[in-house]
Every structure is written in C-alpha cells, then in structure tokens.
Amino acid sequence: MIEVDGVSKVYRAVEREPGLSGALRSLWNRKTRDVAAVTDLHFSVAAGEAVGLLGPNGAGKTTTLKMLTGLLHPTTGRLRVAGHRPQDREVAFLGSIALVMGQKQQLIADLPATDTFLLHRALYDLNRTTWRATVDELVEALGIGEEVSRPVRTLSLGQRMRCELAVALLHRPTVLFLDEPTVGLDVEVTVALRAFLARYRARTGATLVLTSHDMGDVGALVERILLVDRGRLRFDGPIDGFRARFGSGRRLVVRGADLALNDLGFVLEGAQRWVATVPVAEANGLLARVLQRHPAADLTVHDPPLDEVLAAAFGEGRRT
C-alpha cells in the first residue's frame, strides 16, 4: 500500500546577519545552506496495517507525512501510495487517502459542519445516497448529532476534532494519515476517539499511519513502530520488539498507605503509589528490600511504559 524507497527531503535555508544592515546585505549577497529534513528513508506499509511514525520534535515525521500525502515533493527517492505517486495529486489518489492534523482544521469556522459535508460531497463527486448513509453512520458513531448543526467556532476542541474526523472519512479512504489527532484533548474525548478509530479500522480494513507524542495513542492504535530521528529511520518493527530494543529495565510499582520508599529510589505518584524503573539485574534485590521493610505492601512488576521506552530511544539516538 505504501512504498518509500530512498526518500530524502532537503530545504534551502537563507542565512543572514541580524539587524537592518544584515537584511540589506542579504539582498545582494544572500547566503544559503542546505538543511536535510529527511535522509534516505526506506520502509513499506502493507494494506490494512497500522503504523506509528514516531520521533522527537524536528525528527522529520511531519515532513514524511506531507510527502506521503503529496503536499511536499521529495528531493530524491521514490514514493508510492495506493499505487500512485503522491506528488502527482491525481484525483484517484486524493480519493483514496485522508489526512487529519490535530493542529489544523478543514472545517469552516463560521459555518456548521453540515455545510462542509455538502462541500465534501461535491469535491469528491460522491453518490448522494451513499454519502447520506455515510454521514448518518459517522455522526452516530462519533456522537455529534447536535454539534454538526452549530457553527464550528462555537464547538469545543473535542467536538471539533470529532467533526474533523467525520469530514475526513466521508469519502471512505483506504489510507488514513493522522498527525497528532488527540493533541490538546481531555482524557474522555481522547479515549473515545481512540476507540472510534480502532473500530473504524477493524471494520473497513483501512491502512493507518499515525504520528503522535501521546504514547496512549500509539499503544491503542498501532502494531508497528517506525522511529525517525534527525531525518533517519532508526527502528522498524513491532511494539514488543521496540520495548525489547530500548526498554532495558523493569518498572516496580508499590501501593500502600504510610510507605516511605524515596530512599530506595522510588518516586511517589498520587497518594499511595510508589514507582521506580531499574535495570533487570537490580529488580529482585530491590523487591526484597521493599518487602523486608513493608511485608504487607502491594507490589507489582511491569515492563517500562511506552513513553519511558521512547524517551530512552531518543536519548540513545542523541548519544549516537
């Protein structure tokens, strides 16, 4: 479904000295330098697969997503999405994809979402009966029956994002690109959106590519991780493989009243929850010390959470 073969994206940045004199000199003697946003990416995504494109800020995630949707052209390399070159922006290609960006909107602020639904039907030349059935299905599934008739500017962020998803899915795309879809949303709305997207993919078999800094999104929606750092692909594999590669430790959680574990390296989270992440070789010894001090404590051992694993992966990349 998606093929990325040796893709790079290089921008030409203008450099100038500060102040008015620097601005004037740059008019006649402009200095530029090449900045590589993405370098020699190679990966493929099968039809129906759910992939998380992860990395720190400035890693090249959004640039990659924009090239996959045809908004940017690669400097070198070859891209194929659903059998098309994205940069050609063919009608058939645009009808097969959808892009949802949490920090940008396609809805018109002063109009209700229903007007954008009508515009979407015209732009994609959708059959009226099929379009109407899809609208009703999405409105019910997303719980936006009242919101779609109100001006978009009067909606909360969570309501607007649900309407954005409805618009993006009206033409039933086979490839769905999500860029930080839950950014800024409260917990209740975030959980609801994740559940909807998981059900939608299970029902339609759509291919999903997600970028997010919220590891809850990643854990709930994707099965495979592509880790990009400084424009280069550093890891490509399943989530379990990602944990095994970068999550070299155990997370100990101790619950109980009147505990004092800070001297053992634990951090208090909430009122009665002490947490520590330690190397595997040290886990048993620390468990014994905790139980010796508090025999009745409720103690569990887990793999480190995904956000800690990701932070470790970023740190290793910077050291490398």
Rounded average pLDDT over 273-277: 82
* pTM (two decimals): 0.77
pLDDT digits (tens, 9 = 90+) for 80-103: 999 999 999 999 999 999 998 877
Between 255 and 130, the more confident residue is 130
Q: Is the predicted pLDDT of residue 49 greater than 90, yes or no?
A: yes
8 A C-beta contact, residue 175 and residue 82: yes
Q: What per-residue confidence (pLDDT) applies to 212?
A: 83
More confident residue, 238 or 281: 238
User: Which pLDDT tens digit goes with each residue over 160-179?
Assistant: 888 988 999 999 999 999 98
What pLDDT does 17 receive? 74
Residue 34: band (very low, low, confident or very high) from pLDDT cuts 50, 70, 90: confident
| Residue 296 pLDDT level (bands cut at 50, 70, 90) | confident
Phi-psi bin for 83: left (phi > 0), alpha (psi -120 to 50), beta?
A: left
Instruction: Report pLDDT digits (tens) over 298-307.
Output: 888 766 666 6
DSSP label at residue 138: H
**Pair 159, 167: CB distance under 8 Å:** no
pLDDT at residue 30 tops 80: no
Mean pLDDT of the chain, nearest integer: 85
pLDDT surpassing 60 at residue 266: yes
The pLDDT value recorded for residue 304 is 64
- Residues 6 or more apart whose Cβ sits within 8 Å of residue 307: 215
Residue 196 has pLDDT above 70, yes or no: yes
Residue of higher predicted confidence among 246 and 273: 273
**For the chain, domain boundaries:** 2-243, 249-303
**Radius of gyration, alpha carbons of the chain:** 24
Please write the tens of the pLDDT for every residue from 232-256.
Answer: 888 898 887 877 777 666 778 888 7
Domain 2-243 annotated CATH 3.40.50.300: yes
Q: What percentage of residues in the chain have a pLDDT greater than 90?
A: 33
Euclidean distance between the first and the last CA atom of the chain, given in angstroms as a whole number: 32
3-state secondary structure 23-58: HHHHHHCCEEEEEEEEEEEEEEECCCCEEEEECCCC
Distance of CA 87 to the CA centre of its chain: 22
Between 30 and 71, whose confidence is greater? 71
| pLDDT for the residue numbered 276 | 83
pLDDT band of residue 119 (cuts 50, 70, 90) is: very high
